[in-house]
A and B are shown apart, each in its own frame.
Chain A
Amino acid sequence: MKNNLRVERARVRMTQQELADKTGVTRQTIVAIEQGKFNPSTVLALKMARVFGIKIEALFELEDTD
């Protein structure tokens, strides 16, 4: 699964720690999601989309291999 988390975070000038605090996870979990090493749950993905004020489809995208 591809994600635009890093791009969206840069757009709103938010650090990984700030995003982690707003979504109730650790900073390492944000890093893991950005690196594509961990796929978030639907709830966490929705929380992230809400933080950036965008739709979940704009943040996460299915790849052909998924």
Chain B
Amino acid sequence: MKKYRLLDHKWQKIGFAVFISGVVLSLIYLFEIVFTFTPTQFGGIVEDYKLGLFNKIMQGPLPLLSFISAIAFALMSLSQEKQEDERIVETRHQILPRIVILFIIVLTIRFIAGSILIRLAEPLSYAIITRIIGLFTDVTAFMGYYVLFFKLSLWKQNRELSDEE
């Protein structure tokens, strides 16, 4: 019988621990930036302060969170369940086309939202919003969507199938 080469279940737990650590580290880094960055460093010009703060966050905590999340989601999506059987493998197969559809929908929304925002929003707001949208449409986010969809689907299935004896 064909066997799927997935990592041991313990790697899923390690991946989850890595993700939580990444979120905590990024939040600490973010608070450190927010509390040490003051408008006086920019001569009191609020717009320059906002832009500086935005750039600092985009160069520090966010890439850190993105990098750690990529490792964590890869570990979580490539490791098997506690008891991986053929129903669970089929669930994995069912999730993939849904993720592809979601990918197409999200990219379409990103394109439309970007086209509208570039005409309506101020340059700074546009930069912030497009970077935030970008976070939810990159490869790391899609690995996260896969983990989320798969876990939710499995949880729903197990809940429906657990009562009967």
Q: Residue-by-residue, is B145-165 near A (CB-CB < 8 Å gives 1, otherwise 0)?
A: 000000000000110011011
Q: A16-B165, A43-B1 are in contact. Are A24 and B85 (CB under 8 A)?
A: yes
In the assembled complex, which residues on chain B have CB atoms less than 8 Å from the CB atom of A16?
Answer: 164-165
How many chain B residues touch A (Cβ–Cβ < 8 Å)? 13
- Chain A nearest CB: distance from B93 CB in Å? 13
Q: Which of B1, B86, B90, B162 contacts A28 (CB 8 A)?
A: B162
Q: A15-B165, A31-B164 are in contact. Are A44 and B158 (CB under 8 A)?
A: no
Q: A38-B90, A43-B1 are in contact. Are A28 and B165 (CB under 8 A)?
A: no
Given contacts A25-B83, A31-B161, 13 further A-B contacts (CB under 8 A): A25-B85, A25-B86, A25-B87, A26-B83, A26-B85, A26-B88, A27-B162, A28-B87, A28-B157, A28-B161, A29-B86, A38-B90, A40-B86
The interface of chain A, by Cβ under 8 A from chain B, is 15-16, 24-29, 31-32, 34-35, 37-38, 40-41, 43-44
